[in-house]
Structure 1
């Protein structure tokens, strides 16, 4: 029996183990022991440990929130959501507002900002007639050439010409704006988070800096701009221009019209896309009952038949 017990010990012991018996001393408790010890705690200790865990988690969350709040690089006021007339499911752009917005761009924004992806012909049938757009294009002087002598020359603009740039190159634009490059406005609504809400808030959000915030002389405080310090001076104010249709030129009206114009410039297919969507909904609404009827008609034979099995006699 002793030899059989020794052989069984040699077979069952782990590889590389010692044949000597384990030294006397405290043994490690299995994981179930810690669970049993927690279950054996008094109710007061459990409540205390739970409260300590909640306080630790709350303190960590508060520290993270305070760290985010006092970080100067993250200070930025998010623009509110405005009720634009073209935000409806089937609402179109206000084309009278687009026309006024182009006037704002031409008289105010075009002095610094370009729209190099927009041509004069894009205005035809949207905000102006063809004759009006031709007259607008002829006011611009376009550099063309070379001619027969190999020299460049200037000519009046045509419908196929793009909007003229205010500066010949980016370096000239930086030199005229204290080192800041004015962005192109062709797709500015789609390129900025918030779209027209952000642009409207930026145009109307200039104010004095709060106490403790120091802004350099060539910069201006705007809480909606990342960093709050913007090189562009307040571009619009009340009665900065006179609209052709007699609309009062308040600051909010000017900002609203130019934002509508920029939304159309960034998404000229806006009205066409919604019109096609409405037509598709109408077609689907007509076809759905017909398809459902055909489905019931074709499957009626299979769904109403009865299969009977008659075993052979």
Structure 2
């Protein structure tokens, strides 16, 4: 009695699965899914922007000269809106700045203190020191929204690790601003860039509040004489933001390779010890 019931139950499950597959196939044929505007742009209007960084791959290392240029771009362009609240000024020593240079950089930023100015009632400020973290560009979220078309600029400390493809995505975004294609608007009229937003095919929903931050060649004057084109500035600041997100990358690579070499040597010695210990016993057993 149990066996026929089991067979019937199995047939019922198989029938339900086949019916679901058949019904799904019919529904797909009758109403095929429509490609979203974002996927359409990804396949038709995203120019290929391949770029390689010195830190790519398991043997990659940071280029301190590039990181210093990237910091300069952040300081002169990005810091007006974006914070680096997890980075301290003294961390800049890791990318080649000397202690006096770090102190001089820190003095260029003012930081609010808990006390109020007794004459004006406004928060008092002091010059930053090397142990301070980079101050926020806005006093609060309300001020940030008011200055950025109701959008809060994200903190950039971990931005390169929070986005898929990290620095490569940042580079594409910074160099990807343009005019919305007429073909896209004809096919997807609902995605027309609203007033106050800016079209960028690399941004997830195609339109973002941030205006193009890199506006043209010479916007930044590099101290090392490098020509400050838009692609160059975008590459440098992308590399710098990768460093802020993962400052120990070089060390991690070195430790990783040392661990792999140790495991290889240890495995080889273990295997040779195994062969040495068991060689006599195998010969005796024969």
Q: Corresponding residue for 1:196?
A: 167
In the TM superposition, residue 225 of structure 1 has moved relative to its aligned partner by: 1.0
SS at match of 1:85: coil
Residue 38 of structure 2 contacts residue 206 of structure 2 at CA under 8 Å; is this kept in 1? no
Equivalence for 2:79: 110
Give the aligned partner of residue 303 of structure 1: 282
Which 10-residue stretch deviates more, 291-300 or 173-182? 291-300
| Alignment deviations for residues 113-171 of structure 1 (CA, whole Å, 9 cap, x no partner) | 11111111111132311111111011211222449x9x964222111101011100111
1:221–1:229 CA contact under 8 A, matched in 2: yes
**Equivalent residue for 2:265?**
286
Structural mapping, 1:4-153, within 5 Å? 60=28, 64-65=32-33, 67=34, 69=35, 71-72=36-37, 75-77=40-42, 81-146=50-115, 153=124
Which digits, 9 at most, give the CA deviation of each residue in 1:176-228, with x for residues without a partner?
11111111101111111221121111100011111135322311111111221
Does structure 2 retain, via aligned residues, the 8 Å contact 1:100–1:258? yes
1-side partners of 2:202 and 2:106: how far apart? 35
User: Conserved in 2, the CA contact under 8 Å of 1:114 and 1:165?
Assistant: yes
In the other structure, the counterpart of 1:216 is 194
CA contact (8 A) 1:75 1:227 kept: no
Unpaired segments ≥5 residues, structure 2: 1-10, 12-23
SS in 2 for 1:215: coil
SS at match of 1:144: strand
Distance 2:30 2:260 in 1: 50
Instruction: Evaluate the alpha carbon distance shift between residue 145 and residue 231 of structure 1 in structure 2; reply closer, same or farther with a 3 A threshold.
Output: closer
Taking a change above 3 Å as real, the CA distance of residues 62 and 92 of structure 1, as seen in their structure-2 partners, is farther
Please give the alpha-carbon distance, in whole angstroms, between the structure 1 residues aligned to 2:108 and 2:276: 67
Residue pairs, 1:228-307, within 5 angstroms: 228-236=206-214, 237-306=216-285
Q: TM-score, normalised by structure 2?
A: 0.79
Q: Distance in 2 between matches of 1:133 and 1:72?
A: 46
- Give distance in 1, aligned partners of 2:194 and 2:234: 26
Q: 2:126 aligns to what SS in structure 1?
A: strand
RMSD: 2.8
Rounded to whole Å, the distance in 2 between the matches of 1:222 and 1:195 is 17
Q: Matches of 1:216 and 1:127 in 2, distance apart?
A: 43
Match of 2:131 among 157, 160, 185: 160
Unaligned runs of 5+ in 1: 1-30, 32-55, 308-313
Partners of 1:62 and 1:241 lie apart in 2 by 56
Assess, with a 3 A threshold, how the Cα gap between structure 1 residues 209 and 62 changes in structure 2: closer, same or farther: farther
Q: Which has the larger radius of gyration?
A: 1
